[in-house]
Homo-oligomer: A and B are copies of this chain.
Amino acid sequence: MGEQLEALQRRILEQGRVLSGGVLRVDAFLNQRVDMRLMREVGSAFAERFEGAGAGVVLTVESSGIAPAGMTALAMGLPLVVCKKQASRITRDERLSTMVHSFTKDAEYELSVSREFIAEGERVLFIDDFLAMGEAALGVARLVGQAGAVLAGIGIVIEKSFQPGRKKLEALGVPISSLARIARMDPDECDNRKAITFM
């Protein structure tokens, strides 16, 4: 669904760092230092791809998803809802929650959101920075299901297509669009143009 985003691929090649264990660090423009102009392009691209999805809300997971999902919400004129990775002590409202396994951190965490922010029957567009093992996205799909809402689409900034997440999400039967899809990474190769292969 949709071409890959050239400006994003270029930036991955310029500033990404391939580490061992299938880790791609993009701290220089997406995770720690965020290029908001690039995020605006990302938001426009998702808005175009999911124009017909009938979404009423854009959902993401804190914290690296917020910038790309926020720019998508702005481009689509929709509210952004942020799922928390742990329940806050000061939010005592009724929460939807599910446990998610993080392979990056090798730990379980609780993903949660206030029930009031996902209406029953609402069509939800999920946007996240990375797709690797797919566990966060599956957790979001469970939360959306708990709310009686409908997952209308999944937009991913960077997909590591050599990991199992994509396949797991395809089983949900929901449109998936990734702006960059990485087929292969070689941590022993210093030149990113050789180390990273897009699909």
Contact = CB atoms under 8 A, between A and B. Distances in A.
Given A32-B82, A63-B63, 10 more contacts: A27-B117, A28-B117, A32-B114, A32-B117, A33-B82, A34-B82, A36-B73, A36-B80, A70-B71, A90-B104
A79 interface: yes
Contacts of A80: 33-36, 67
A27 B66 contact: no
Interface in A114-170: 114, 117
Contact of A79 (B23, B33, B84): B33
Instruction: Give the interface size bracket for A toward B.
Output: 35 or more
Given A36-B73, A66-B66, A19 B81 contact: no
Interface string A6-26: 000000000000010001010
Given A63-B63, A81-B34, A70 B113 contact: no
A40 interface: yes
B70 A36 contact: yes
13 contacts: A27-B117, A28-B117, A32-B81, A32-B82, A32-B114, A33-B81, A34-B80, A34-B81, A35-B80, A39-B74, A62-B62, A63-B66, A89-B104
Interface of A: 19, 23, 25, 27-28, 31-37, 39-40, 62-63, 66-67, 70-71, 73-74, 77, 79-82, 84, 88-91, 104-105, 113-114, 117
B73 A34 contact: yes
